[in-house]
């Protein structure tokens, strides 16, 4: 089993739709969790850190469920500019960062 798993998609959604991505991780000692966004073959950029209490940034909401070892990302009112690959990342302090394979999102006009 891979350490971090994501549905690769693609998710094709119309503008204005709400879309949700899940990510599961296998290392119960993981301490930090992130969602990164990557546009085609460019560098990943931080979208959100994910905290136990859940956090929201505008149209984006991230949730962490430690008991079930998954994190989620919800995007409301999708824009064309949201089209990208979304990478789930987990980190166990003092060790390496592990990236999921990414979920590709296409927002259609």
Partner 1 sequence: EAQVTQNPRYLITVTGKKLTVTCSQNMNHEYMSWYRQDPGLGLRQIYYSMNVEVTDKGDVPEGYKVSRKEKRNFPLILESPSPNQTSLYFCASSLLGLGKNIQYFGAGTRLSVL
Binding site for partner 1 (CB under 8 A): 31-32, 34, 41-46, 49, 87, 89, 91, 93-94, 96-102
| Least Cβ distance, residue 17 to partner 1 (angstroms) | 25
Of 28 and 109, CB closest to partner 1? 28
Closest CA to 7 of 25, 26, 27, 23: 23
Of 58 and 94, CB closest to partner 1? 94
| Least Cβ distance, residue 29 to partner 1 (angstroms) | 13
| Contact yes or no for 17/108 (Cβ under 8 A) | no
Token pair in block for residue 78? 């999708």
| Least Cβ distance, residue 67 to partner 1 (angstroms) | 19
Token pair in block for residue 35? 């969602």
| Least Cβ distance, residue 6 to partner 1 (angstroms) | 9
Cα 63 from Cα 37, distance rounded (Å): 16
| Contact yes or no for 37/43 (Cβ under 8 A) | no
Of 83 and 86, CB closest to partner 1? 86
């Amino acid at each position: 089993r891979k350490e971090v798993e994501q549905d690769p998609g693609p998710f094709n959604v119309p503008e204005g739709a709400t879309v949700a991505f899940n990510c599961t991780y296998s290392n119960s000692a993981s301490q930090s969790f992130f969602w990164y966004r990557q546009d085609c073959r460019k560098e990943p950029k931080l979208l959100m850190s994910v905290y136990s209490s859940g956090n929201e940034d505008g149209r984006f909401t991230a949730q962490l469920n430690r008991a079930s070892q998954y994190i989620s990302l919800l995007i409301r009112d999708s824009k064309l500019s949201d089209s990208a690959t979304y990478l789930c990342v987990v980190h166990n302090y003092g060790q390496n960062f592990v990236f999921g394979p990414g979920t590709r999102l296409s927002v259609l006009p």
